Amino acid sequence: MQCGAALATGLFDNIGSQGAVFLRTVFAAAILLAISRPGIRLVREVGVRDVFLFALTFLGMNTCFYAAIDRIPLGAAVTLEFVGPLAVAIAGSRRRLDLLWAFLAAAGIALLSDGLGADGIFSLGAVLALLAGCSWGAYIVLSARVGAAHPGLGALAVAIAVSAVLVAPLGIAEGGLDLLAPATLAIGLAVGIASSVIPYSLEIEALRRLPSGVFGVLMSLEPAVAAVVGLIALSQGLEAIEVVAIALVVGASAGALRTSEAPPHDP
């Protein structure tokens, strides 16, 4: 997912962040619909409301996140975005030790805000990353519910297709005819596969096997991955305070996983 995000930043100058979201979502929807071939019966089984809410989480995550990484470094954006999984981890906690790991991650996020310039956590990029995090938290909860209601990837495919329709006006308005350039389409396809098809398919399967709280804290590994990808692919260096902040978030994840209960057996 983070490699796909780094690749997507190369599209921002030509088609804007929302044009990149549009291409990513359209290609992801087309591939997942071709693989799963869902029918009308699926929507009835899962529920129209849940499918539409699921689509809204994709819309919120992707539009806000891409707008954020257009303004602040990838590692910082993903670390701030982790506020969503962190909230899921706290809400799903059953032991005091779980809360300790969650608050350790929160301390890392608060520390990171000091490295975002004069506006800190109130900068537009940071606010957008936090909004993306709220959608990420809702995505985790809904993904677990939808995954339990229907096997396979059909519900995921339908939700992403609805999300593509919702983001189309904004993406087309920002990208214009540049969306049809062959090189742009090729990168958009790669981003759709790397950032949506592969990770979302794996995540919905993971949430069929893991408690959502454990899954949410596990996702705190993403800031470290994003920081490394940003450093290598985008030459986005890290200050000492940012390294410490990301280390706190990743440490919280490692601690939560080490002390978590074994996941339920998968039939």
7: pLDDT strictly greater than 60: yes
- The rounded distance, in Å, linking the Cα atoms of 88 and 93 is 8
- The rounded distance, in Å, linking the Cα atoms of 260 and 267 is 21
pLDDT tens for each residue of 37-83: 876 666 666 677 888 898 999 999 999 999 999 988 888 888 888 87
227: pLDDT strictly greater than 90: no
Helix 12-36 vs helix 154-175: angle between axes, to the nearest 10 degrees?
160
Tell me, what's the pLDDT at 46?
64
- The rounded distance, in Å, linking the Cα atoms of 125 and 67 is 7
pLDDT tens for each residue of 95-146: 777 778 778 877 887 777 665 655 666 688 889 999 999 998 888 888 777 7
Residue 190 lies in domain: 2-259
- The rounded distance, in Å, linking the Cα atoms of 54 and 141 is 9
17: pLDDT strictly greater than 70: yes
| Position 264 in a domain | no
| Position 214 in a domain | yes
pLDDT higher at 178 or 225: 178
- Average pLDDT over the chain reads 82
- The rounded distance, in Å, linking the Cα atoms of 235 and 237 is 6
* pLDDT band, residue 161 (cuts 50/70/90): very high
Tell me, what's the pLDDT at 267?
42
| Position 228 in a domain | yes
> Per the structure, how many domains does the chain have?
1
| Position 266 in a domain | no
Rounded percentage of the chain residues whose pLDDT exceeds 70: 82
- The rounded distance, in Å, linking the Cα atoms of 94 and 197 is 32
Query: How far lies 265's CA from each of 6, 201, 215, in Å?
Result: 36, 20, 15
